[in-house]
Amino acid sequence: MQSESPLDTLISAADRALRAVFAPARASRPMPEPKPVPAPPEAQATPTQSTAPPSLSEAEKRDSAALMRVNHAGEIAAQALYHGQALVARSATTRALLLKAAHEETDHLAWCETRLKELDSRPSLLNPLWYAGSFAIGAAAALLGDRMSLGFVVETERQVEGHLDEHLARLPQDDTRSRAILQTMRTDEIAHGVSAKAAGGAELPSPVRFLMRNTARLMTSTAYWI
Ligand SMILES: [Fe+2]
Ligand SMILES: [Fe+2]
Protein backbone atom coordinates (compact mmCIF):
# COMPACT_ATOMS: atom_id res chain seq x y z
CA MET A 1 0.00 0.00 0.00
CA GLN A 2 1.35 3.44 -0.94
CA SER A 3 1.78 5.82 2.01
CA GLU A 4 0.26 9.34 1.97
CA SER A 5 2.50 12.24 0.93
CA PRO A 6 2.72 15.21 3.37
CA LEU A 7 0.54 17.23 0.99
CA ASP A 8 -2.12 14.48 0.92
CA THR A 9 -2.03 14.36 4.73
CA LEU A 10 -2.51 18.13 4.90
CA ILE A 11 -5.37 18.10 2.42
CA SER A 12 -7.10 15.25 4.32
CA ALA A 13 -6.69 17.19 7.60
CA ALA A 14 -8.13 20.38 6.03
CA ASP A 15 -11.02 18.40 4.54
CA ARG A 16 -11.84 16.83 7.93
CA ALA A 17 -11.71 20.27 9.60
CA LEU A 18 -14.03 21.93 7.09
CA ARG A 19 -16.52 19.07 7.27
CA ALA A 20 -16.56 19.06 11.07
CA VAL A 21 -17.08 22.81 11.42
CA PHE A 22 -19.17 23.78 8.39
CA ALA A 23 -20.97 20.74 6.95
CA PRO A 24 -24.10 19.32 8.60
CA ALA A 25 -23.08 16.18 10.49
CA ARG A 26 -24.65 12.90 9.38
CA ALA A 27 -25.43 10.31 12.03
CA SER A 28 -25.06 6.60 11.34
CA ARG A 29 -27.37 5.67 14.22
CA PRO A 30 -30.91 6.95 14.80
CA MET A 31 -31.39 9.77 17.29
CA PRO A 32 -31.89 8.35 20.84
CA GLU A 33 -35.54 8.47 21.84
CA PRO A 34 -36.88 9.04 25.36
CA LYS A 35 -38.28 5.95 27.05
CA PRO A 36 -42.12 5.90 27.04
CA VAL A 37 -43.58 7.22 30.30
CA PRO A 38 -45.82 4.62 32.04
CA ALA A 39 -49.47 5.66 32.32
CA PRO A 40 -50.42 7.17 35.74
CA PRO A 41 -52.17 4.76 38.19
CA GLU A 42 -55.63 6.30 37.60
CA ALA A 43 -55.32 5.41 33.91
CA GLN A 44 -54.24 1.83 34.64
CA ALA A 45 -57.69 0.49 33.69
CA THR A 46 -56.79 1.29 30.06
CA PRO A 47 -53.02 0.73 30.10
CA THR A 48 -51.78 3.09 27.43
CA GLN A 49 -48.35 4.68 27.29
CA SER A 50 -47.71 8.30 26.50
CA THR A 51 -45.00 8.68 23.86
CA ALA A 52 -45.37 12.38 23.01
CA PRO A 53 -42.58 14.38 24.71
CA PRO A 54 -43.90 17.04 27.13
CA SER A 55 -43.84 20.54 25.65
CA LEU A 56 -41.37 23.03 27.07
CA SER A 57 -41.95 26.67 28.06
CA GLU A 58 -39.95 29.34 26.20
CA ALA A 59 -37.63 29.72 29.21
CA GLU A 60 -37.04 25.96 29.39
CA LYS A 61 -36.30 25.83 25.65
CA ARG A 62 -33.74 28.61 26.04
CA ASP A 63 -32.16 26.80 28.96
CA SER A 64 -31.97 23.48 27.13
CA ALA A 65 -30.65 25.12 23.98
CA ALA A 66 -27.81 26.78 25.90
CA LEU A 67 -26.82 23.42 27.38
CA MET A 68 -27.09 21.61 24.04
CA ARG A 69 -24.99 24.37 22.42
CA VAL A 70 -22.27 23.64 24.96
CA ASN A 71 -22.53 19.91 24.17
CA HIS A 72 -22.38 20.58 20.45
CA ALA A 73 -19.26 22.76 20.93
CA GLY A 74 -17.80 19.95 23.04
CA GLU A 75 -18.35 17.52 20.17
CA ILE A 76 -16.70 19.93 17.71
CA ALA A 77 -13.76 20.05 20.11
CA ALA A 78 -13.75 16.23 20.37
CA GLN A 79 -13.54 15.95 16.57
CA ALA A 80 -10.66 18.44 16.53
CA LEU A 81 -8.75 16.71 19.34
CA TYR A 82 -9.01 13.36 17.55
CA HIS A 83 -8.05 14.88 14.20
CA GLY A 84 -5.05 16.71 15.71
CA GLN A 85 -3.95 13.57 17.54
CA ALA A 86 -4.37 11.42 14.41
CA LEU A 87 -2.26 13.82 12.35
CA VAL A 88 0.71 13.43 14.69
CA ALA A 89 0.18 9.78 15.79
CA ARG A 90 3.32 7.65 15.41
CA SER A 91 1.74 4.29 14.66
CA ALA A 92 -0.82 3.53 11.97
CA THR A 93 -2.83 1.50 14.53
CA THR A 94 -3.18 4.49 16.87
CA ARG A 95 -4.07 6.76 13.96
CA ALA A 96 -6.76 4.32 12.80
CA LEU A 97 -8.16 4.03 16.36
CA LEU A 98 -8.34 7.83 16.69
CA LEU A 99 -10.01 8.36 13.31
CA LYS A 100 -12.50 5.56 14.01
CA ALA A 101 -13.39 7.19 17.35
CA ALA A 102 -13.81 10.58 15.62
CA HIS A 103 -16.13 8.97 13.11
CA GLU A 104 -18.24 7.44 15.90
CA GLU A 105 -18.41 10.85 17.57
CA THR A 106 -20.08 12.24 14.45
CA ASP A 107 -23.36 10.78 15.70
CA HIS A 108 -23.10 12.96 18.81
CA LEU A 109 -22.43 16.02 16.70
CA ALA A 110 -25.43 15.27 14.46
CA TRP A 111 -27.80 14.58 17.36
CA CYS A 112 -26.84 17.81 19.18
CA GLU A 113 -27.23 19.73 15.93
CA THR A 114 -30.72 18.29 15.34
CA ARG A 115 -31.78 18.98 18.92
CA LEU A 116 -30.59 22.59 18.67
CA LYS A 117 -32.79 23.03 15.58
CA GLU A 118 -35.75 21.47 17.38
CA LEU A 119 -35.22 23.98 20.18
CA ASP A 120 -35.18 26.83 17.59
CA SER A 121 -31.57 27.60 18.39
CA ARG A 122 -28.13 27.46 16.78
CA PRO A 123 -24.63 26.10 17.41
CA SER A 124 -21.91 28.22 18.98
CA LEU A 125 -20.68 31.02 16.71
CA LEU A 126 -17.18 30.31 17.99
CA ASN A 127 -17.06 26.72 16.69
CA PRO A 128 -14.17 27.45 14.26
CA LEU A 129 -12.21 28.76 17.22
CA TRP A 130 -13.02 25.70 19.38
CA TYR A 131 -11.94 23.49 16.50
CA ALA A 132 -8.64 25.30 15.89
CA GLY A 133 -7.71 25.44 19.58
CA SER A 134 -8.62 21.81 20.23
CA PHE A 135 -6.80 20.62 17.09
CA ALA A 136 -3.61 22.31 18.34
CA ILE A 137 -4.05 20.78 21.82
CA GLY A 138 -4.64 17.32 20.28
CA ALA A 139 -1.56 17.60 18.09
CA ALA A 140 0.54 18.80 21.06
CA ALA A 141 -0.65 15.84 23.16
CA ALA A 142 0.23 13.43 20.35
CA LEU A 143 3.76 14.86 20.14
CA LEU A 144 4.37 13.28 23.55
CA GLY A 145 3.93 9.83 22.01
CA ASP A 146 1.07 7.43 21.35
CA ARG A 147 0.68 6.19 24.93
CA MET A 148 0.32 9.74 26.25
CA SER A 149 -1.99 10.58 23.39
CA LEU A 150 -4.25 7.63 24.24
CA GLY A 151 -4.02 8.64 27.90
CA PHE A 152 -5.26 12.05 26.82
CA VAL A 153 -8.35 10.37 25.31
CA VAL A 154 -8.92 8.47 28.57
CA GLU A 155 -8.73 11.69 30.61
CA THR A 156 -10.86 13.70 28.14
CA GLU A 157 -13.61 11.09 28.24
CA ARG A 158 -13.45 10.96 32.04
CA GLN A 159 -13.94 14.73 32.19
CA VAL A 160 -16.70 14.63 29.54
CA GLU A 161 -18.53 12.00 31.59
CA GLY A 162 -18.48 14.30 34.62
CA HIS A 163 -19.64 17.21 32.49
CA LEU A 164 -22.53 15.18 31.02
CA ASP A 165 -23.61 14.16 34.53
CA GLU A 166 -23.76 17.84 35.44
CA HIS A 167 -25.83 18.65 32.35
CA LEU A 168 -28.19 15.73 32.96
CA ALA A 169 -28.89 17.23 36.38
CA ARG A 170 -29.33 20.76 34.99
CA LEU A 171 -31.63 20.00 32.02
CA PRO A 172 -35.25 21.06 32.51
CA GLN A 173 -37.16 18.09 33.94
CA ASP A 174 -39.44 17.80 30.90
CA ASP A 175 -36.71 17.90 28.26
CA THR A 176 -36.73 14.15 27.79
CA ARG A 177 -35.43 14.37 24.21
CA SER A 178 -32.20 16.15 25.15
CA ARG A 179 -31.85 13.84 28.15
CA ALA A 180 -32.06 10.72 25.96
CA ILE A 181 -29.28 12.11 23.72
CA LEU A 182 -26.99 12.96 26.63
CA GLN A 183 -27.53 9.56 28.24
CA THR A 184 -26.52 7.73 25.05
CA MET A 185 -23.54 10.05 24.60
CA ARG A 186 -22.46 9.33 28.17
CA THR A 187 -22.52 5.57 27.55
CA ASP A 188 -20.49 6.03 24.33
CA GLU A 189 -17.90 8.33 25.97
CA ILE A 190 -17.31 5.80 28.75
CA ALA A 191 -16.71 3.11 26.10
CA HIS A 192 -14.24 5.38 24.23
CA GLY A 193 -12.27 5.90 27.43
CA VAL A 194 -12.20 2.16 28.15
CA SER A 195 -10.91 1.29 24.65
CA ALA A 196 -8.22 4.02 24.75
CA LYS A 197 -7.06 2.65 28.11
CA ALA A 198 -7.05 -0.92 26.76
CA ALA A 199 -5.00 0.28 23.76
CA GLY A 200 -2.25 1.41 26.17
CA GLY A 201 -3.31 4.90 27.33
CA ALA A 202 -0.96 6.22 30.04
CA GLU A 203 -2.07 8.11 33.17
CA LEU A 204 -1.48 11.84 32.60
CA PRO A 205 0.41 13.98 35.12
CA SER A 206 -1.93 15.99 37.35
CA PRO A 207 -0.85 19.48 36.04
CA VAL A 208 -1.92 18.36 32.53
CA ARG A 209 -5.27 17.13 33.88
CA PHE A 210 -5.72 20.44 35.70
CA LEU A 211 -4.95 22.39 32.52
CA MET A 212 -7.38 20.27 30.51
CA ARG A 213 -10.17 20.85 33.04
CA ASN A 214 -9.67 24.61 32.97
CA THR A 215 -9.49 24.82 29.18
CA ALA A 216 -12.75 22.84 28.97
CA ARG A 217 -14.33 25.15 31.54
CA LEU A 218 -13.45 28.21 29.47
CA MET A 219 -15.05 26.66 26.40
CA THR A 220 -18.20 25.42 28.11
CA SER A 221 -18.89 28.69 29.92
CA THR A 222 -18.44 30.72 26.71
CA ALA A 223 -20.42 28.41 24.40
CA TYR A 224 -23.37 28.59 26.82
CA TRP A 225 -23.89 32.20 25.69
CA ILE A 226 -22.21 32.59 22.30
FE1 LIG B 1 -18.92 12.64 22.01
FE1 LIG C 1 -15.99 10.18 23.02
- Do 110 and 25 meet the contact criterion of CB atoms below 8 Å apart? yes
Instruction: Tell me the one-letter amino acid at 171.
Output: L
Q: What is the whole-number distance in angstroms between the Cα of residue 184 and the centre of ligand 2?
A: 11
Whole-number average pLDDT of the chain = 85
pLDDT band at 45; cut points 50, 70, 90? low
Q: What is the whole-number distance in angstroms between the Cα of residue 161 and the centre of ligand 2?
A: 9
Q: What is the whole-number distance in angstroms between the Cα of residue 42 and the centre of ligand 1?
A: 40
Burial bucket for residue 13 (CB in 10 Å: 0-12, 13-18, 19+):
middle
Which residues have a beta carbon within 5 Å of ligand 1, which is an ion?
78, 105, 108
Q: What is the whole-number distance in angstroms between the Cα of residue 190 and the centre of ligand 2?
A: 7
Name the residue among 101, 128, 114 with its Cα closest to residue 24. Answer: 114
Instruction: Tell me the one-letter amino acid at 201.
Output: G
Burial bucket for residue 190 (CB in 10 Å: 0-12, 13-18, 19+):
middle
Q: What is the whole-number distance in angstroms between the Cα of residue 1 and the centre of ligand 1?
A: 32
- Point out the ligand nearest to the CA of residue 77: 1
Strand, coil or helix: 53: coil
Name the residue among 29, 81, 93, 124 with its Cα closest to residue 215. Answer: 81
- Do 184 and 223 meet the contact criterion of CB atoms below 8 Å apart? no
pLDDT for 53 equals: 66
Q: What is the whole-number distance in angstroms between the Cα of residue 203 and the centre of ligand 1?
A: 21
pLDDT for 3 equals: 67
Summarised one tens digit per residue, pLDDT across range 95-149 is: 888 888 888 889 999 999 999 999 999 988 888 888 998 899 889 888 989 999 9
- Point out the ligand nearest to the CA of residue 159: 2
- Do 80 and 135 meet the contact criterion of CB atoms below 8 Å apart? yes
DSSP assignment letter at 46: S
- Point out the ligand nearest to the CA of residue 191: 2
Q: What is the whole-number distance in angstroms between the Cα of residue 106 and the centre of ligand 1?
A: 8
Range with the largest mean pLDDT of 44-53, 127-136, 203-212? 127-136
Instruction: Name which of 27-31, 68-72, 94-98, 202-206 the model is least confident about.
Output: 202-206
Nearest-10 Cα torsion for 180, 184, 189, 194: 140
Q: What is the whole-number distance in angstroms between the Cα of residue 44 and the centre of ligand 1?
A: 39
Give the span between the Cα atoms of 165 and 35, in whole angstroms.
18
Q: What is the whole-number distance in angstroms between the Cα of residue 2 and the centre of ligand 2?
A: 30
C-alpha angle 119/100/74, rounded to 5°? 35
Q: What is the whole-number distance in angstroms between the Cα of residue 157 and the centre of ligand 2?
A: 6
- Point out the ligand nearest to the CA of residue 158: 2
pLDDT band at 49; cut points 50, 70, 90? low
Q: What is the whole-number distance in angstroms between the Cα of residue 133 and the centre of ligand 1?
A: 17
Residue 152 clears pLDDT 70, i.e. is over it: yes
pLDDT for 141 equals: 86
Residue 40 clears pLDDT 70, i.e. is over it: no
C-alpha angle 222/225/226, rounded to 5°? 75
* Cβ atoms within 10 Å, residue 3: 7
Give the span between the Cα atoms of 100 and 68, in whole angstroms.
24
